[in-house]
Amino acid sequence: MRGREKLFLLLGIIAAIGLSFASGAFNRYYLGIVIDVGINIILAVSLNLINGHTGQFSLGHAGFMAVGGYVAAKLTLVCGASAWIFLPALLLGGGVAALAGLAVGVPSLRLRGDYLAIVTLGFGEIIRVIFQTSEFFGAATGLTGITRLTTFGWAWGLAAVTVYVVACLVNSTYGRGFIAVHDDEIAASAMGINPVRYKVTAFVIGAFFAGIAGGLYAHHKGVLTPSGFDFIKSIEIVVMVILGGMGRTVGVILAAVILTILPELLRGVAEYRMIIYSLLIIGLMLTRPQGLFTFGKK
């Protein structure tokens, strides 16, 4: 099992970097969408660790993404943009986002269900307000002129790493604890599992990858505005996880791909996009609350 996963990881990274060299041959518009898909896979899979595998409903993922994006972008803006600084910038962004995850996780994980959802929403909003008022991060206008360093190879290579890390973690002996906490917290703690530690771990790891995705996003779009990381952004990621089926890695990846491409296909009816989105959520919850791409056993 483990050998197969490693092989997938290697193949994924090699394919990503290999295709990246040929990316000049593709249409820039399509290439941009494909990179978006890679970034969204990172976001959805990392949120899936929190929401799906560990069962802690978080509505603040865009906040962690914002932290990673701003930190990474500020670093490349200050130190000058080069391929050598990009990886450290991404890692730093992820690291600071992970710290934010720790700061959010430790106090709020004593709460459950809808309370947790509201508190994470609140933290996401507070993070946004901080960026919006901070002159250092460009206040309401945000950061502009970020060098576009994100390539196909970076986005999909890191997406492969994310999927690998999350899948291996959840399938490891340690990682069974996440699922135990998800299934029954009280029974899990009776078995000697510390639910709070698992929840915080899930938050920190999830936030780390969200931060990486934020860094990729910043260096893909070239601009960052605080309003881009609002509640709606968090909801978009949550919908990917719900649509794919909470705790189903393959389903969530599929959902991330579809939900990124779908709006581009729906350009003609862009004004209905969010209406369709919300009806999708309601319809899904009424008919298939377990998600769309959930075939066979977990």
Please report, as ranges, the residues that interact with another protein according to CB under 8 A. 57, 107-108, 110-111, 113-115, 117-119, 121-123, 125-126, 129-130, 133, 186, 231-232, 235, 238, 242, 271-272, 274-275, 277-282, 285-286, 289
Please give the torsion angle defined by the CA atoms of residues 141, 217, 290 and 1, in that order, rounded to the nearest 10 degrees: -160
Name which of 85 and 240 has its Cβ closer to another protein. 240
Q: Which is nearer to another protein, 110 or 148 (CB)?
A: 110
Closest alpha carbon to 100 in 245, 204, 254:
204
Sequence-separated (6 or more) residues with CB below 8 Å from residue 189: 195
User: Least distance in Å: CB of 289 to another protein?
Assistant: 5
- Which tokens is 247 given? 């705790």
CB closer to another protein, 165 vs 284: 284
- Least distance from another protein to the Cβ atom of residue 119, Å: 6
Give the residue with the Cβ less far from another protein, 31 or 106: 106
What are the backbone angles phi and psi of residue 245, rounded to the nearest 5°? Answer: 100, 120
- Residue 210: closest CA among 269, 138, 268, 123: 123
User: Closest separation between CB of residue 284 and another protein, Å?
Assistant: 8
Please say which residue, 78 or 186, places its beta carbon nearer to another protein: 186
Q: How far is the CB of 275 from another protein (least distance, A)?
A: 5
d(CA 205, CA 185): 20
